[in-house]
Chains A and B, each alone.
Chain A
Amino acid sequence: MERSQILRAVIRKQPGQSFLLDVDCQAAPGFTILFGASGAGKTTLLDCIAGIARPDAGSIAIGDRVLFDAVKDINLPTAKRRLGYVFQGLSLFPHMTVEQNVHYGLSRLTSAERSSRTAKILQAFRIADLAGQSARTISGGESQRVALARTLVTDPDVLLLDEPLAALDAPTKSTIIDDLRQWNRDHQIPILYVTHSREEVFALGERVLVLEAGRIVFEGTPHEVMAAPRQETVAQLAGFENVFDVTVQEVHPERGTMLCIISPHRPPAYGTSGSVWLETPLVRAGVGSKLRVGIRAGDILLATSRPGGLSARNVIAGRVTALEQRDVIVSAHVNCGVEMEVSLTLAARDSLELTPGREVWLVIKTHSCHLMRN
Chain B
Amino acid sequence: MTIDWQAFRLTFELALTVSAILLVIGLPIAYWIAFSPRRWKFLVEAIVALPIVLPPTVLGFYVLVALGPRSPLGHWWISLTGHTLAFTFTGLVIGSILYSLPFAVQPFAASFASVDRRLIAASATLGASPLRTFFRVIAPLSLPGLITGAALSFAHTMGEFGVVLMVGGNIPGVTRTVSIDIFDRVQSSDYAGANATALMLLIFCFVILAVVYGVNRKAWIITGTLSSGA
Direct A–B contact in complex, judged by CB atoms less than 8 Å apart: yes
* Interface of A toward B, CB cutoff 8 Å: 50-52, 77-85, 87, 89-91, 93-95, 104-105, 107-108, 136, 150-151, 154
Asked if A90 contacts B126 (CB within 8 A), the reply is no
Question: What is the minimal beta-carbon distance from B121 to any residue of chain A, in angstroms?
Answer: 5
Asked if B222 contacts A95 (CB within 8 A), the reply is yes
List the A side residues contacting B127 at CB < 8 Å. Answer: 79-80, 82, 105, 107-108, 154
Q: Mark B40-77, 1 if CB is under 8 A from A, else 0.
A: 00000000000000000000000000000000000000
Asked if B223 contacts A78 (CB within 8 A), the reply is no
How many chain-B residues does the 8 Å CB contact rule pick out?
24
Asked if B128 contacts A50 (CB within 8 A), the reply is no
Closest residue of B by beta carbon distance from A104: B126
Asked if A79 contacts B128 (CB within 8 A), the reply is yes
Asked if A89 contacts B230 (CB within 8 A), the reply is yes
Asked if B122 contacts A87 (CB within 8 A), the reply is yes
Closest residue of A by beta carbon distance from B117: A52
Please give me the 9 A-B residue pairs with the lowest Cβ-Cβ distance, nearest first.
A105-B126, A94-B226, A78-B124, A85-B125, A91-B122, A91-B118, A95-B140, A79-B124, A87-B118
Which among A80, A90, A95 has the highest number of chain B CB atoms within 10 Å? A95
Q: Mark B82-118, 1 if CB is under 8 A from A, else 0.
A: 0000000000000000000000000000000000101
Asked if A78 contacts B119 (CB within 8 A), the reply is no
List the A side residues contacting B125 at CB < 8 Å. Answer: 50, 78-79, 81, 83-85, 151
Asked if B126 contacts A151 (CB within 8 A), the reply is yes
Question: What is the minimal beta-carbon distance from B142 to any residue of chain A, in angstroms?
Answer: 11
List the B side residues contacting A107 at CB < 8 Å. Answer: 127-128, 132
For the complex, give the distance between the alpha carbons of A142 and B122 in Å. Answer: 18
List the A side residues contacting B230 at CB < 8 Å. Answer: 89-90
List the B side residues contacting A80 at CB < 8 Å. Answer: 127
Interface flag for B81 (CB, 8 Å): no
Asked if B227 contacts A94 (CB within 8 A), the reply is yes
Asked if A91 contacts B119 (CB within 8 A), the reply is yes
Interface flag for B123 (CB, 8 Å): yes
Question: What is the minimal beta-carbon distance from B168 to any residue of chain A, in angstroms?
Answer: 43
Asked if A104 contacts B124 (CB within 8 A), the reply is no
Besides A93-B136, A104-B136, 19 more A-B contacts (Cβ < 8 Å) are A50-B125, A79-B126, A79-B127, A79-B128, A85-B125, A87-B118, A89-B118, A91-B119, A91-B122, A94-B223, A94-B227, A105-B126, A105-B127, A107-B127, A107-B128, A107-B132, A108-B127, A154-B126, A154-B127
Question: What is the minimal beta-carbon distance from B118 to any residue of chain A, in angstroms?
Answer: 5
For the complex, give the distance between the alpha carbons of A151 and B124 in Å. Answer: 11
For the complex, give the distance between the alpha carbons of A105 and B136 in Å. Answer: 12
List the B side residues contacting A82 at CB < 8 Å. Answer: 127
For the complex, give the distance between the alpha carbons of A150 and B127 in Å. Answer: 12
Selected from A81, A85, A95, A108, the residue in CB contact (under 8 A) with B122 is: A85
For the complex, give the distance between the alpha carbons of A84 and B116 in Å. Answer: 18
Selected from B121, B129, B130, B223, the residue in CB contact (under 8 A) with A95 is: B223
For the complex, give the distance between the alpha carbons of A225 and B225 in Å. Answer: 43
Interface flag for B14 (CB, 8 Å): no
For the complex, give the distance between the alpha carbons of A104 and B136 in Å. Answer: 9
Closest residue of B by beta carbon distance from A50: B125
For the complex, give the distance between the alpha carbons of A154 and B124 in Å. Answer: 12
List the A side residues contacting B140 at CB < 8 Å. Answer: 95
For the complex, give the distance between the alpha carbons of A146 and B118 in Å. Answer: 16
For the complex, give the distance between the alpha carbons of A317 and B118 in Å. Answer: 53
Cross-chain pairs A/B with CB under 8 angstroms, 28 sampled = A50-B125, A78-B124, A79-B125, A79-B126, A79-B127, A79-B128, A80-B127, A83-B125, A84-B125, A85-B121, A85-B125, A87-B118, A89-B118, A91-B116, A91-B119, A91-B121, A93-B119, A93-B122, A93-B123, A93-B137, A94-B141, A94-B227, A104-B123, A107-B128, A108-B127, A136-B226, A150-B126, A151-B125
